[in-house]
Structure 1
């Protein structure tokens, strides 16, 4: 009996030791203490390995991050489906280019979701560490490309991100000093896009750069920058700071105390909604996991509006490739020009509040479609779904000039019509033998005679603008139809607005 009791006690001690060892080995408690912190859990996070440097797509539905679960760092991608993250997939088209001993890290989505920027010293690197990207074409990520000598130097260049309009690149470059912990300090750089390349990188001014900065991330408003910095006022190591741009000046960086720890804090990601932040944090097992946390209001970027949809061929109703241009309708300044996904036809735009936008979609051999988005009074993030339909240019084809506006009860064109009229001019110059009828229509408010006269005068106003800008009169016919050809019944105010229109009809090619 005594031997039996000793045996039971021995088994109990062994089991207790094993359980204690397992508990200690699997302690994934984060070092960051915040009641809103939520682990992404399985299948993203693992107990045995590290998950690090998350980048979330602008719509919050795709996650790319680093993990060492294969024995070395590689990039993985996961999609949010029905509120849960899918099993991560190895981004082998990129990872397989990285040899043992090479570095890859710091992934960052472009806001249109069509490029992934990252850092590597893989074969083809210009210097010690370079900026790279992979492009998504027809929903397939392509082999990585070096961003070239216009931004990469013989030294260290890393951790890139790009503004929502794809016009400004931010990254970090090795400086000339070391941090108190012995790490090489970096400075934050930016480069503007000219044609297809980012050129002439410059250091961001003080108070952003103070001598030891890194890991920049520009938010969806194009004005709010979050970055890491080693500063004497910090909690220790690199802390996260936020600065906002007004004109060409940056505000004094504010420490993000709700997220900073005594360890190095870096590499965060915020979707376009601006209300949540994704980060990696070291747990008590000395492994990194990925978390999400509500972003306090004082740190949220300015609200933007997501416009997304599919570009389709009017004849076949199938997706088609196109170019999407965004301009300030009041100043005519071009803000961005992007291509949609040529296979799915999908496009997405992130428009900052406070402006009125002209958005046009064009493709060679087709009509164009345009829309106005007035965000001057926008107050919250929202998603607008808008499919765009292009009609092949052929005899008798007719399409509406959506962004054409007249003064109330008048034939005088407003200045906001000029971008639309300039597109007509460009189309007619490209198709030099084309002849068109400018057809103007009204709703049923007012007498038939008055509406007929008003529509004729409006058609003539459009023709006058076109002739003053180089289109000869023999190629143009002005025709007013009054209320005689409604596109929809005049039974609601919304339908009446649809009937007040000007159309472009091809009468000769």
Structure 2
């Protein structure tokens, strides 16, 4: 490869030698004095932006490009345009201008080889980039070059990483999220509900709150917008969250609870802080500060909730970290300090954009370290056996030689979302949907398609059809609507998630007060009790026993709460017996305690406890077993001080089915313990 590059350079030498830079002077453009004057004016204005501290590259670039239209053959102008592009969202465009600047004048700048290396690197020309980086390396013994040498060594390593990763691309489709979300202005920072039904994101589009533009950066101030899924692939027209969330300044998305009821936002306060807003009905409440245990005088930029909502992963550049930015974890309602995730995750470089999957153990984040192919790459790590696994690069074409950051993924693991500058964008930076595909199948038929392989240029690849989705997530999403049984009106209720083996509430959520909607994320490996409760109503329980390794599932369960009236029946789904016995298992304790509490709080309440079976086996035996099981529940309540006169029990065997006995699911529903209100 290097011999080939040397030959190409030698072949190009006569052309480079013959090319000359064309100055913006009267002797070259005397016939167009007005055009020359206008071009010189643009260059002067561009230089003012370019040479300020810090440089305003975007404003300078706009002026330089106008002058470039008049004279495209000036070495310094091409060099400055290339440098400006390297500091823009469209970095790969820098290469054309830098190569031309070098062709016009190989001595255009002492930095030309380094910048050429950057331009080639960002266009995934790995070997050519390495060659230029090596030419940019200072001579041995030169002064004040240690930092540059380390930087070049790191970039050479990134090119080597990129070459390896691009040789085995990840099978994905990367598609623009469409006009419902994206506009001619920048969109970025997507966050989603676990079921992918709602997306919130940051945009700097016209019509922002206050309608003002940033005097330093240009463009409108950031606002937060929301869109909902319409059909299989489309998104509704995004709406502004309103002035409860958005201010006249910058307001940006950071994280969203899996159920979409709590939102983390970034505000430019105290160096950069995180705040939390809650959704009440259809209105977002004003964000509240998260406190000094999370926010510091430094910069806290991104965060993600754990599925139970009790802890937070966040990014900070505060003192004591391992690199420029580190990832920490903290219990939101606790008292202890935030814990650095350690050297397996954090590097001497920057980490950013942390996101915890609803399975509670898989973390996605971006890093400049590990085996990044350039800038920030997106990585995945899994917490198992008390430690984080070595971060895995998500690979090409998800990651590119430019910064890839603020990635989120649905609970199913099928779709990811992030923002990127690409040629198929609707204007500036857009939000894209990544569809993860399964392993390659033996070819049935071949079809040529486009995979977006970098921020700029699509790469053609022969795809094997049909693709198969990867479903590897180990989590169940339980969602639905809580209503009042009689009126069918939505209710705001508390949903407790209980680890039955520990008899401990591990999370509590609220259904939406206007819609009654709820969503709960249940990582595999736990026998869950789900209890829905509201003052004035009988509690409702569900059971989800999810063994470790259980694949992704989405369960829709609408729940109607019942008033405490005579004749009302409630199934006790979290009462368990040993097989073919009337012995209560320890996992039943929580449900029994809830029943005891109900009786203690309602002294006049009288109940019949009943047992039921399916129709498998001898009817007489089933009736006897169901009666003994009902009696076991009553006996437990008696030991807890409940008066015997308030309780009766009965075994109905298979005589009162609630579902057909012709299916496994139906028979399971028929095997139940329930209570009926007989007096109050």
Query: When the two structures are superposed, what TM-score results if normalisation uses the length of structure 2?
Result: 0.63
Match of 1:330 in 2: 501
One of 251, 273, 278 as aligned partner of 2:417: 278
TM-superposed CA distance for 1:37, in Å, is: 1.9
TM-superposed CA distance for 1:449, in Å, is: 5.4
Does the 8 Å CA contact 1:29/1:283 hold for their aligned counterparts? no
Question: Which range moved further: 105-114 or 430-439?
Answer: 430-439
The answer to whether residue 432 in structure 2 is matched with residue 291 in structure 1 is yes
Change (3 A) 1:446 1:39: closer
Does the 8 Å CA contact 2:609/2:649 hold for their aligned counterparts? yes
Does the 8 Å CA contact 1:216/1:227 hold for their aligned counterparts? yes
Q: Deviations over 1:296-342 (max 9, x none)?
A: 66998632221111112122222212111222333334332111112
More helix by share: 2
Show the 5 A alignment for 1:166-181: 166-176=309-319
TM-superposed CA distance for 1:444, in Å, is: 5.5
Does the 8 Å CA contact 2:245/2:284 hold for their aligned counterparts? no
Does the 8 Å CA contact 2:189/2:252 hold for their aligned counterparts? yes
Q: Distance in 2 between matches of 1:400 and 1:473?
A: 21
Which gives a bigger RCO, structure 1 or 2 (Cα 8 Å, sep 6+)?
1
TM-superposed CA distance for 1:153, in Å, is: 2.1
Q: Distance in 1 between matches of 2:659 and 2:438?
A: 45
Does the 8 Å CA contact 1:176/1:185 hold for their aligned counterparts? no
Q: Deviations over 1:363-384 (max 9, x none)?
A: 1221122122232276532211
CA RMSD of aligned residues (A): 3.4
The answer to whether residue 346 in structure 2 is matched with residue 209 in structure 1 is yes
TM-superposed CA distance for 1:424, in Å, is: 0.5
One of 167, 183, 194 as aligned partner of 1:46: 183
Show the 5 A alignment for 1:213-232: 213-231=351-369
Does the 8 Å CA contact 2:202/2:252 hold for their aligned counterparts? yes
TM-superposed CA distance for 1:488, in Å, is: 6.3
Q: Deviations over 1:71-101 (max 9, x none)?
A: 22221212221332222212223454243xx
Q: Distance in 2 between matches of 1:140 and 1:119?
A: 19
Unpaired stretches in structure 2, ≥5 consecutive residues? 1-64, 70-84, 93-121, 125-168, 207-219, 440-469
One of 508, 528, 532 as aligned partner of 1:361: 532
Q: Distance in 1 between matches of 2:353 and 2:567?
A: 56
Change (3 A) 1:479 1:141: same
Match of 1:341 in 2: 512
Question: Which range moved further: 262-271 or 399-408?
Answer: 399-408
Q: Deviations over 1:375-423 (max 9, x none)?
A: 2276532211111222111334332222223334432223332222121
Show the 5 A alignment for 1:31-110: 36-47=173-184, 49-70=185-206, 71-82=220-231, 83-94=233-244, 96-99=246-249, 103-110=250-257
Match of 1:425 in 2: 596
SS at match of 2:637: helix
Change (3 A) 1:495 1:44: closer
One of 372, 375, 378 as aligned partner of 1:237: 375
Q: Distance in 2 between matches of 1:425 and 1:32?
A: 68
The answer to whether residue 470 in structure 2 is matched with residue 305 in structure 1 is no
SS at match of 2:570: strand
Match of 1:8 in 2: none
Unpaired stretches in structure 1, ≥5 consecutive residues? 1-16
Does the 8 Å CA contact 1:305/1:351 hold for their aligned counterparts? yes
Q: Distance in 2 between matches of 1:32 and 1:165?
A: 42
Change (3 A) 1:263 1:371: same
Q: Distance in 1 between matches of 2:335 and 2:238?
A: 32
SS at match of 2:373: coil
TM-superposed CA distance for 1:261, in Å, is: 2.4
